Amino acid sequence: MHEFSIAVSIVELSEIEARAVKATAISRLVLEIGTMAGIEFEALDTALDAAKQHTMLHNAEIVVEKVQAMTTCDDCGHKFEINDFLSPCPQCGGYYNEVFCGKELKIKSLVAET
């Protein structure tokens, strides 16, 4: 389960940012994760609950904002949502070139308490 190592990294990065402003706790953390980021969302929730224990995030509300993956058809230029890499264009049946959003995994914001 690689989600646990990702959760630990998220906690560590959040604490680095909070310490930079001399915070003692983090009360809210917002993550932005794409639907094609290779993350199992339920597993990440469980991993974050475990990883935040005994850290600055132990009482933090963690919000995960899912970003729907989108692509553009190489053949007709139509932009559409995808849920896997084998989705044909719903307009012309062609295949897309690259996902332009929905692969991200980032800390969007955090609320640090002093």
Q: What is the CATH number of the domain that holds 25?
A: 3.30.2320.50
Sequential pLDDT tens for the chain (114 residues): 589 999 999 999 999 999 999 999 999 999 999 999 999 999 999 999 999 999 999 999 999 999 999 999 989 999 999 988 888 999 999 887 778 999 999 999 999 998
**How far is CA 109 from each of CA 24, 27, 62, 85, rounded to the nearest angstrom?**
16, 11, 10, 29
Q: Is residue 84 part of a domain?
A: no
Whether 47 and 7 have beta carbons less than 8 Å apart is answered as yes
pLDDT given at position 98: 78
Q: Indicate the number of domains in the chain.
A: 1
pLDDT score of 86: 84
Residue 92 lies in a domain: no
**Residue 82 domain flag:** no
Query: What pLDDT is attached to residue 6?
Result: 96
Confidence (pTM) = 0.87
**Amino acid 1: pLDDT:** 57
Range of the domain at 9: 2-68+101-113
DSSP assignment letter at 95 = B
pLDDT computed for residue 27 by the predictor: 97
DSSP result, 17-42: HHHHTT-SEEEEEEEEEETTSS--HH
- Is there a contact between 22 and 112 (Cβ–Cβ < 8 Å)? no
Is residue 91 domain-resident?
A: no
